[in-house]
Chain A
Amino acid sequence: MTTATIIQSLASGLLMGLLYGLIAAGLALIFGLMDVVNFAHGEFLMIAMYVTFFLFAFFAIDPLLAAPLVAAALFVFGAVVYLLVVRFAMRAKANVGMVQIFATFGLAIVMRGLAQFFFTPDYRSIPHSWLGGQTISFGGIYLPVPQLVGAGVSILAFTALFFFIKKTDFGRALEATREDAGAVALVGIDKNRVFALGWGLGAALVGLAGAIMAMFFYIYPDVGASFALIAYVTVALGGFGSVFGAFAGGIIVGLVEASTALILPPSLKSVGIYAVYLLVVFIRPRGLFGSI
């Protein structure tokens, strides 16, 4: 194993990690806002990838251009899911936590089923996107351009999210709602509106990730499952509910995955992630940046 191989692996791991962070951001945001784990998060990603695929297939819109459109579509989708499903699940008189789990898990199964029915289980891909298949080399290190752009989008998205949360009125309302959802009515804020917009924002973030992923990953009804699992680990690592913990968690997961692949056969590359995850929950159950 040469130094170049190691650097090559870590660099790809870092890029993938930034994308994992972006995928997990919405999950962390929604959990932090209202203590609801969205078990359909992977299916949100799947829908985003299909939307990207169809925009390409029918309108020849390149995934890079489609990304904002996909994010907007997912924003609407996320808000609607809150208003039609989650809002009612939260009204349960008993065992609210379980009801929420079943509601979002059920949603995941429905979404997967519908995708299989309407989109067929076939593997799709976007063959000729602007960036797809291109690589760029930095002193002997080859990096795939879609992942590089994805990493850039992730950094931009997190930066924008940071300023949005810290500097805008709505960001402040989000923070206040996550502090005490029962108290925001005291200042005239409708918590249901904040929740709906929070779901929209969370879904838009995963929409952005889906558009990027569609450039280099196969698109099929079950595609969300494996990425969702990584997203849960990312969120748990970073600290439940901490959006910026998800950023750090994503990078760690990406780097650990890449390092594992250096040592173990590629089919076992996930082992490292779960080992680190196990270690963190043993030593620091609230995650690296969690405050609960």
Chain B
Amino acid sequence: MLSVHEVTTAYQGLVAISEVTIEIAKGEIVLVAGANGAGKSTLVKSIAGAERPRSGSVTFDGSRIDGLQQHVITARGIAYVPENRRLFPRLSVADNLRLGSYMFRHEADRDDPLKLVFELFPRLQERLEQRAETLSGGEQQMLAIGRALMTRPRLLMLDEPSQGIMPKLVSEIFQAVKKIRDAGMTVLIVEQRMAECLEIADRAYILQTGRVLMQGTAGELMDNPDVRKAYLGL
């Protein structure tokens, strides 16, 4: 479904990721892990169109998307939830969600994903009229994922969804990711909490200083002694 081929992205001459190649098949949950500064965020930004790769290609459902504008890539079916969530803070929860379905004109296209969002995150339904900025960190993350789901994506990309969230909600969010996949979507998730995330992921890539260090199925990586020592703290 998504293939990232030898993508190199640089900021002001500094190479953040270098010739990264990853493949994601339809219906998978794929984890991208690695230490701070390994280039995980740059990778998802390069796919989402928030950063423009210097070289390489990104192909989504058979067509090249690298070089397209970010809003066009969203319209093609890739939803991206950035690390800092980027909600519209002074707008209500309802308005944030409604903006997610801005691209659609038919009521059905707007209501169907809303049902899923409320099913996954019932507490959003209780807070519809509240301003987004008044939500807790966990609820804001739920809203950011909810808003992304409203765009009816085929691929959902989450950048560090567990950041700044209390542990109980983290597992709630990971469970939601599983359900999102069960609803027919493909998920790319960037996380530092590798151990918890490997439990829901099918496959994972580990980045180090901008390159793919290792890849494999969740089981393979969990059994790998180097990974256990360096990344899982076991």
- The answer to whether B95 and A183 touch across the interface, beta carbons within 8 angstroms, is no
Among the stretches A141-149, A186-194, A252-260, the one at the interface with B is: A186-194
- The answer to whether B86 and A188 touch across the interface, beta carbons within 8 angstroms, is no
B75: A residues at CB distance < 8 A: 188
Among A187, A190, A191, point to the contact of B99 (Cβ < 8 A). A187
B82: A residues at CB distance < 8 A: 186
Among A179, A180, A185, point to the contact of B71 (Cβ < 8 A). A185
The proximity string for A residues 9-39 relative to B, scoring 1 for CB distances below 8 Å and 0 otherwise, is 0000000000000000000000000000000
**A176 is an interface residue with CB less than 8 A from chain B:** yes
The proximity string for A residues 179-207 relative to B, scoring 1 for CB distances below 8 Å and 0 otherwise, is 11011111111110000000000000000
B141: A residues at CB distance < 8 A: none
**B79 is an interface residue with CB less than 8 A from chain A:** yes
Q: CA of A175 to CA of B96 in the docked complex: distance in angstroms? A: 10
Q: CA of A187 to CA of B150 in the docked complex: distance in angstroms? A: 8
Q: CA of A179 to CA of B88 in the docked complex: distance in angstroms? A: 6
**A122 is an interface residue with CB less than 8 A from chain B:** no
Which chain A residue lies CB-closest to B152?
Answer: A188
Q: CA of A257 to CA of B75 in the docked complex: distance in angstroms? A: 51
> Chain A interface mostly helix, strand, loop or mixed?
helix
The size of the chain A interface, using a CB distance under 8 A, is 17
The proximity string for B residues 58-90 relative to A, scoring 1 for CB distances below 8 Å and 0 otherwise, is 000000000001110011000111100011111
Q: A185-B49, A187-B147 are in contact. Are A173 and B99 (CB under 8 A)?
A: yes
**A172 is an interface residue with CB less than 8 A from chain B:** yes
How many A-B Cβ pairs are below 8 Å? 66
B70: A residues at CB distance < 8 A: 185-186
**B103 is an interface residue with CB less than 8 A from chain A:** yes
- The answer to whether B102 and A179 touch across the interface, beta carbons within 8 angstroms, is no
Q: CA of A169 to CA of B91 in the docked complex: distance in angstroms? A: 13
Q: CA of A175 to CA of B79 in the docked complex: distance in angstroms? A: 21
- The answer to whether B95 and A172 touch across the interface, beta carbons within 8 angstroms, is yes
**B100 is an interface residue with CB less than 8 A from chain A:** yes
A180: B residues at CB distance < 8 A: 86, 88-89
**B2 is an interface residue with CB less than 8 A from chain A:** no
- The answer to whether A182 and B103 touch across the interface, beta carbons within 8 angstroms, is no
- The answer to whether A186 and B90 touch across the interface, beta carbons within 8 angstroms, is no
Q: CA of A172 to CA of B148 in the docked complex: distance in angstroms? A: 17
- The answer to whether A173 and B102 touch across the interface, beta carbons within 8 angstroms, is yes
B101: A residues at CB distance < 8 A: 187
Which chain A residue lies CB-closest to B79?
Answer: A186
Of A179, A184, A187, the most chain B CB neighbours within 10 A belong to: A187
- The answer to whether B89 and A187 touch across the interface, beta carbons within 8 angstroms, is no
- The answer to whether B88 and A188 touch across the interface, beta carbons within 8 angstroms, is no
Of B70, B98, B103, B147, the most chain A CB neighbours within 10 A belong to: B70
Which chain B residue lies CB-closest to A177?
Answer: B88
Which chain B residue lies CB-closest to A175?
Answer: B91
A185: B residues at CB distance < 8 A: 49-50, 69-71, 74
Q: CA of A183 to CA of B88 in the docked complex: distance in angstroms? A: 8
The proximity string for A residues 107-147 relative to B, scoring 1 for CB distances below 8 Å and 0 otherwise, is 00000000000000000000000000000000000000000
Q: CA of A187 to CA of B102 in the docked complex: distance in angstroms? A: 7
Q: A175-B95, A180-B88 are in contact. Are A189 and B102 (CB under 8 A)?
A: yes
B residues 118-175 touching A (CB-CB < 8 Å)? 147-148, 150-151
Give 3 nearest A-B pairs by CB, closest first.
A185-B70, A183-B86, A185-B71
If A179-B88, A180-B88, A185-B69 are given as contacts, then 17 extra A-B residue pairs at C-beta distance below 8 Å, sorted by A number, are A172-B98, A172-B99, A172-B102, A173-B102, A175-B91, A176-B91, A179-B89, A180-B89, A183-B88, A184-B71, A185-B49, A185-B70, A186-B79, A186-B86, A187-B74, A189-B102, A190-B69
Q: Could you list which residues of chain A lie within 8 angstroms of chain B, going by C-beta atoms?
A: 169, 172-173, 175-176, 179-180, 182-191
A–B Cβ pairs within 8 angstroms, 19 of them: A172-B91, A172-B102, A173-B99, A176-B88, A176-B91, A179-B91, A183-B86, A183-B87, A183-B88, A184-B71, A185-B50, A185-B71, A186-B86, A187-B99, A187-B100, A187-B102, A187-B147, A187-B150, A189-B102
